[in-house]
Amino acid sequence: MIKTVVLAAAEEEPNPLIPHAAEIILGLVVVAVLYYLISKIVVPNFEKAYAERTTAIEGGLKAAETKQAEADAKLADLEAQLADARHEAARIREEAREQGAAIVAEMREQAQSEASRIVEHGKAQIEAERQQAVTSLRAEVGTLATSLAGRIVGESLDDDQRSARVVERFLSELEGAG
Amino acid sequence: MSSLSVVVPTEEFNTPGPADFKLPGVFDIAGEAVTKPMLLVILSAVIAFGLFYAMSRRAAVVPGRLQFAGESVYDFVRNTIARDTIGSHDYAKFVPLLFTIFLFVLINNFFGIIPLIQFPTMSHIGYTTALAGITWVVYNAVGIAKHGFFGYLKHQTVPAGISGPILLALVPLEFFSNIIVRPFTLALRLFATMFAGHLLVILFSLGGEYLLLHYSPHPVGIGAGVISFVLAVGVSFLDMLIMFLQAYVFTLLSAMYISGAVSDEH
């Protein structure tokens, strides 16, 4: 009687520590299928996204580095150009200054020569006019003197040849005395 | 227990026990009863794959909401469990296995708290045995593949930096703990926590029902019954924490066993 009760109790209270073969097999099969699906589809999908993300970030960094390097190169280039331009400007200024000085000097020289030319010309003209005046004076003085002397002496000195000789002589004496 | 006793309320309280975990077959296939846990195990795999297929299907550089949620779980297993335990050199090829184990255990555990399902599959030791068996085979296999059969035995049983007669005591001990005990503790730990958690919830809810309806004097029964239901809710929340923790622990231990098997040093 007691034995049957115990047996009945044992039947009613199954031992939860004893695994069922069917459950083990089912568990293995289901996990195997799930593992297959996850390793073939889910994990590659995620890993692909991760890889793309890494590439995108690294690519972005590389692009930024390239841009930075380009900007640096451009800046250096521009600075060099600026320095060149400054140098060029200084050179041109120097040249202009030299040229200006040369032009001024040339102008001065030209003006000087022009001035001296004008002075020379004036001197020559004055000399010519004086010569002319001297010549005409001499003729005038001769005529005047002979007519004056003829009046005083009363002698006609109309003989031109003679009077001219007399006047010449007189003037020569005058010049010799002078 | 006759069918009569179910219909006619009795004053007797039947304490829930292991019998409550032995569910009748839903239907039969070739003479084998297909039980609720069997269906749940299959459902868990469908949910796990369906969910994460949907989350990873259009995995892009900039994640959408679904992908972000999926990545959070995947990252947890991949980085926190697999990479941190196994090391960045070897971890990648074990990620699918660990991820599978984690999802499988987690979903089956949470079946214990989901309304209408309310049965943690892992409270049947057969499923935890299967999982522990997989982990045992995998970590020993990768260890043997890396170190060779005897190399692996030496690797697992001879602690580094120890020599002399002490090894006579240590080697059997290490062999016992590293090769023999591990699958049993893995299987039992998960089974026992799920079994106990579910049993507690059943106990508090069935007990609460009995106290409310059948206990005399009635006012005492109502007071105690309400307390019992409050405790049932509290235990359910505790159980939810344990459901997650056990999934984490099972996966983490699997990763540690694999790590120990493929490591170069102890």
Q: How do residues B42-76 score in pLDDT, each as one tens digit?
A: 999 999 999 999 998 888 888 888 889 999 999 99
CA distance B5 to chain A (A): 16
Q: Residue A138 has which token pair?
A: 């001499």
Look at A164 and A42; give whichever has higher pLDDT: A42
Query: Which one of A11, A28, A31 makes the best mutation probe of the B interface by having the most chain B beta carbons within 10 Å?
Result: A31
For residue A83, with 0-12 CB atoms within 10 Å meaning exposed, 13-18 middle and 19 or more buried, which class applies?
Answer: exposed
Residue B16 is which amino acid?
A: P
Given pLDDT bands bounded at 50, 70 and 90, which one contains residue B227?
very high
> Which of B18, B96, B133 is facing A35, going by the closest CB pair?
B96
Residues of B in contact with A27 (CB under 8 A): 41, 126-127, 129-131
Are the C-beta atoms of residues B139 and B260 closer than 8 Å to each other?
Answer: yes
pLDDT greater than 50 at residue B212: yes
Contact B44, B108 (CB under 8 A): yes
CA A147: distance to chain centroid? 87
> Is B6 a residue whose pLDDT tops 50?
no
State the residue for tokens 């999908």. A45
**Chain A: closest CA distance from residue B113 (Å):** 20
Give the residue with greater pLDDT, B59 vs A37: A37
- When pLDDT is averaged across residues B79-85 and rounded to a whole number, the result is 93
Cα B49 versus chain centre, distance: 18
Average pLDDT of the segment spanning A123-148? 87
Please identify among residues 34-53 of chain B the ones whose CB lies closer than 8 Å to any CB of chain A: 37-38, 41-42, 44-45, 48-49, 52-53
Q: Between A115 and B264, whose confidence is greater?
A: A115
Q: Which residues in chain B have Cβ-Cβ distances shorter than 8 Å to A60? A: none
CB B170 within 8 A of CB B245: no
Structure ipTM: 0.87
Domain segments of chain B: what residues? 24-262
DSSP assignment string, B111-162: TTTSTTT---GGGSHHHHHHHHHHHHHHHHHHHHHHH-HHHHHHHHHS-TT-
pLDDT in tens, B97-120: 999 999 999 999 999 999 888 899
Q: Which residue has the higher pLDDT, A69 or A169?
A: A69
The verdict on a CB contact (< 8 Å) between A39 and B96 is yes
Per-residue tokens: A90: 């200084």
Q: B101 and A38 in contact by Cβ < 8 A?
A: no
Residues from chain B that touch A58, judged by Cβ atoms under 8 A, are none
Other Cβ atoms less than 10 A from the Cβ of B187: the count is 25
Summarised one tens digit per residue, pLDDT across range A73-121 is: 999 999 999 999 999 999 999 999 999 999 999 999 999 999 999 999 9
pLDDT at A85: 95
- Model confidence band, residue B3 (pLDDT cutoffs 50, 70, 90): very low
Contact of A39 with chain B, judged by CB distance below 8 Å, is answered with yes
Of B253, B250, B116, B257, whose CA–CA distance to B191 is shortest?
B250
Q: Residue B259's closest CA among B131, B155, B129, B127?
A: B155
- pLDDT > 70 in chain B, percent: 95
User: Does residue B159 sit at the A interface (CB-CB below 8 Å)?
Assistant: no
Of the pLDDT bands very low, low, confident and very high (cuts 50, 70, 90), residue A12 is low
Helices (H), chain A: 2-12, 21-37, 43-153, 160-177
Q: How far is CA B145 from CA A11, B90, B137, B266, in A?
A: 45, 13, 12, 17
Per-residue pLDDT tens digits for B17-45: 888 888 877 777 777 778 889 999 999 99
Asked if residue B110 lies in contact with residue B101, where contact means CB atoms within 8 angstroms, the answer is no
Better-predicted residue by pLDDT, A68 or A7:
A68
* Strand, coil or helix: B263: coil
Under a CB-based contact definition with an 8 Å cutoff, are residues B158 and B167 in contact? yes
A157 or B245: which carries more pLDDT confidence?
A: B245
Please write the tens of the pLDDT for every residue from A152-168: 776 555 667 777 777 78
Please state the rounded mean pLDDT for residues A15-23.
Answer: 86
ω into B159 cis (within 30 of 0): no
Give residue B5's pLDDT.
Answer: 39
Instruction: Find the angle CA(A57)-CA(A61)-CA(A62) to the nearest 5 degrees.
Output: 115
Q: What is the mean pLDDT of residues B198-218?
A: 89
Least confident interval from A116-120, A124-128, A154-158, B134-138: A154-158
